[in-house]
Amino acid sequence: MAVRTVSVQLGSRSYAIKIAPSLLQTLGGECTRLKLGDRCAIITDRNAGKFFARTVFDSLVRKGFSPLLITVAAGETAKSLRTVEKCYDQLAAHRLERKSFIIALGGGVVGDLAGFVAASYLRGIPFVQLPTTLLAQVDSSVGGKTGVNLHAGKNLVGAFYQPRLVLCDLRTLETLPEREYRAGLAEVIKYGIIYDAPLFARLERDLPKILRRDETALSPVIARCCEIKAEVVSQDETERGLRAILNFGHTIGHAIENSFGYGKYLHGEAIAIGQVVEAKISEKILGLPEGETRRIESLFRQAGLPVQIKFSGAQRKKFFDAMRLDKKAKDGEVQFVLARKIGKVEFGQRVPVETIERALD
């Protein structure tokens, strides 16, 4: 299968995202081409490491690099300053220097963690992303946001730092648990709604193949998602305006994650519900046709994602508290990204709390 390449245009920091099966094996050659130093560190987690560390390690050694393997625990808890410090200590012990580089091998957790380590160690050394979850391939590995969590909240410490290269190896998705895979699809569908009606229609048509992880069907879809995120990010790298459209479904989604506690819903599941609810709000505020909301809801359903939330009274209260605490809330109104039609959204839309309540029922 041909390798698809998406280029992220950020002046002197521009880089390529390559998408194809079996790309991990090509890493060594790619790093030679990028003229990176000999010493490097692969940061991975137990799951991704178990399946892919050997391949990545061998590919680097074959081309004369000397990699150090750093394996962190799987899951969100690895995104902590403690883990960052442990990584620094190992990098220093392995004598990584300014020309050395870091490879992030795993999902969004590893990408955010390793990216932040790369951004800060010696004030920044090059880094390469090897995303192995669908969410990481279409979302977290694109755009340069890196960081870790504090007890006070998620992603509170971080840096904008771009990788030198991203390799999306489609084969890595084979081992991904079904629920994680479907959660990633929620972000894929989002790109259709916010930016690309033909992509949305393609998803409606090809969903059965995509659910089977058919590489021929997946490859153009992942490439298009990366292209959309890259386009949005190139226009607004540090989130002053347009980049906000990537948060469609996330205002509700984050409030769901907050009120149910992290763990009940995966992020993708929370934003699937969020997108359906925000489509309903869009009908009221921007005149999104009802038929479009039905198409949106139906696509999430077919992807096996939740589209509705059942609250207890206490959860409902927590939900609206979370909503009002949202940094975008002001004077009894909450700011949303809303859809005018599939493929076209507008950010900075003020919505009264009563409208949100009605859309939730």
Ligand X SMILES: NC(=O)c1ccc[n+]([C@@H]2O[C@H](COP(=O)([O-])OP(=O)(O)OC[C@H]3O[C@@H](n4cnc5c(N)ncnc54)[C@H](O)[C@@H]3O)[C@@H](O)[C@H]2O)c1
| Interaction of residue 172 with ligand X, rule CB under 6 A | yes
Instruction: Please tell me whether residue 196 binds ligand X under the rule CB under 6 A.
Output: no
Q: Which stretch binds ligand X (CB under 6 A): 56-64, 70-78, 288-296, 339-347?
A: 70-78
Q: How far is the C-alpha of 274 from the C-alpha of 270, rounded, in Å?
A: 6
Window 203-222: contact mask with ligand X (x via CB under 6 A):
--------------------
Closest contact distance (angstroms) between CB of 253 and ligand X is 11
Residue 248 interacts with ligand X (CB under 6 A)? no
Size of the site for ligand X (CB under 6 A): 27
Among 37, 38, 58, 76, the residue binding ligand X under the rule CB under 6 A is 76
236 lies in the site for ligand X, by CB under 6 A: no
How many CB atoms within 10 Å of residue 64? 10
We find the least distance from the C-beta atom of residue 60 to ligand X, in angstroms, to be 19
> CB of residue 52 vs ligand X: minimum separation in angstroms?
7
Return the number of the residue (113 or 334) whose C-beta is nearest ligand X. Answer: 113
Length of the chain: 361
Whether the Cβ atoms of residue 4 and residue 167 lie closer than 8 Å to each other: no
Residue number, 234 or 355, with CB nearest to ligand X = 234
Cα–Cα distance for residue pair 334/319, rounded to 1 Å: 13
Q: Is residue 83 within the footprint of ligand X (CB under 6 A)? A: no
Q: Using CB under 6 A, which of 17, 18, 28, 47 touches ligand X? A: 47
| 79 lies in the binding site for ligand X (CB under 6 A) | yes
Contacts of 57 (CB under 8 A, 6+ apart): 42, 67, 69
Query: One symbol per residue from 114 to 143: x for binding ligand X (CB under 6 A), - otherwise; what is it?
Result: ------------------xx-xx--xx--x
Sign of the CA dihedral running 44, 47, 48, 51: positive
Q: Which of 277, 292, 270 is nearest to 355 (CA)?
A: 277
The CA-atom distances, in angstroms, between 239 and each of 33, 232, 245 are 32, 10, 10
3-state helix, strand, coil in the chain (%, to 5): 55, 20, 25
Question: Residue 132 CB, nearest distance to ligand X (Å)?
Answer: 4
Residue among 166 and 356 whose Cβ is closer to ligand X? 166
109 touches ligand X (CB under 6 A): yes
Strand stretches in 77-151, DSSP E: 101-106, 127-131, 145-150
Contact assessment for residue 145 and residue 116, using Cβ atoms and an 8 Å cutoff: no
**CB contact at 8 A, 299 and 182:** no
Q: List the catalytic residues.
A: 123, 145, 187, 229, 239, 243, 247, 250, 254, 267
Binding segment for ligand X (CB under 6 A), chosen from 47-55, 193-201, 206-214, 218-226, is: 47-55
Establish if 180 lies at the interface with ligand X (CB under 6 A): yes
The answer to whether 239 contacts ligand X (rule: CB under 6 A) is no
Select 139 or 278, whichever has its Cβ closest to ligand X: 139
Residue among 125 and 134 whose Cβ is closer to ligand X: 134
AA letter at 16? A
CA 232/CA 237 separation, integer angstroms: 8
Quick check: 212 and 181 in contact, CB under 8 A?
Answer: no
Q: Measured in Å, how far apart are the chain's first and last C-alpha atoms?
A: 46
Backbone angles phi, psi at 58, to 5 degrees: -65, -40
Longest CA span, the chain: 62
What are the residues binding ligand X (CB under 6 A)? 45, 47-48, 51, 74-76, 79, 106-110, 112, 132-133, 135-136, 139-140, 143, 145, 155, 172, 175-176, 180
